[in-house]
Structure 1
Amino acid sequence: MKKIAQFLACLVIAFGFLTNASAQSTAGSKVVYHIDDAEVQGIKGLRNIRNHLDTAPSTTIIVVTHANGVDLLMEGVKDKKNNIEYAPLVSALKSRGVKFEVCEITLKNRNLKKDQFILDADFTPSGVVRVADLQYKDGFAYIKP
């Protein structure tokens, strides 16, 4: 009788693990994309994000920019290599639920104003702290294109 009870307990535990794993896979993952150089990472990063959402549309994505990465979200800025304006690409991703954030420390250090950025940009006190918090506190995976 004791062995039957142990067997049933094992089945209940195994079923719980399977149910939990199934719930996690349907919930979608959470990813922070870290951009600190728009010229090097801009188009590549935006393309990666688009492809990511095409394959896994339920993914929660936050893009955190700092240093020269904030240029990705500045009004009228283009990719120097391909002469493609970032704003329409960002807007398309924003409409798919992607959140874009600009580091306010970078604004101060580069003497930039919030009104120089596209409307799709949000602001965070520190880009580096935000990336760390998203990873550690909120369980986001980290990608740097």
Structure 2
Amino acid sequence: MKSLLRGALAALMLVSFALAAAPAFARDKVVYHINDAEHQALAGLRNVRNQLDTVPDTDIVVVAHAQGVDFLMESYKDAATVGPLVSALHARGVKFEVCEITLKQRNLKKEQFVLDADFTPSGVVELTRLQQKGYAYIKP
């Protein structure tokens, strides 16, 4: 009986130590997919802002490809509206990834993009990679 009690106590202690060492919750991770700037960019940026306002320590990556890269270009038609929002979100830790395949296909240069933009070899591959790393997928 004593050995059974000792075993149960030892197991209880191990579980207690494991629970104490585990974080209370995992940090939220989200990837936003933008492939049509005209119809998705502003709504998507507002969603990102709302998410950060609610859960400030969320890791967020915005992946843009195809026509979705336009909102990150300095010459974007609505730059006066989205530019300050992109800058503010970037300052809060949001990463903006532009697909280099899109640049090649559309004959665009990295110099045409806002300073807050980073570049990834393939937007679709980046979306896949992030989801495999546990990022929730959102398509505004």
Instruction: Tell me the TM-score normalized by structure 1.
Output: 0.85
Unaligned runs of 5+ residues in structure 1 are: none
RMSD of aligned alpha carbons:
1.9
What is the alpha-carbon distance in structure 2 between the residues aligned to residue 63 and residue 107 of structure 1?
16
Give runs of aligned pairs for residues 87-106 of structure 1, distance below 5 A: 87-106=83-102
Q: Which has the larger radius of gyration?
A: 2
Shift of 1:13: 4.2
1:63 is the counterpart of 2:62: yes
Which residue of structure 2 lines up, in the alignment, with residue 9 of structure 1? Answer: 10
What is the alpha-carbon distance in structure 2 between the residues aligned to residue 44 and residue 38 of structure 1?
10
Partner AA of 1:113 in structure 2: K
Runs (4 or more) in structure 1 with deviation over 4 Å come to none
Conserved in 2, the CA contact under 8 Å of 1:64 and 1:127?
yes
Unaligned runs of 5+ residues in structure 2 are: none
Which residue of structure 2 lines up, in the alignment, with residue 142 of structure 1? Answer: 137
Shift of 1:18: 5.6
Count of residue correspondences: 138
Which residue of structure 2 lines up, in the alignment, with residue 50 of structure 1? Answer: 49
Instruction: Tell me the TM-score normalized by structure 2.
Output: 0.88
Q: Secondary structure at the residue paired with 2:75?
A: coil
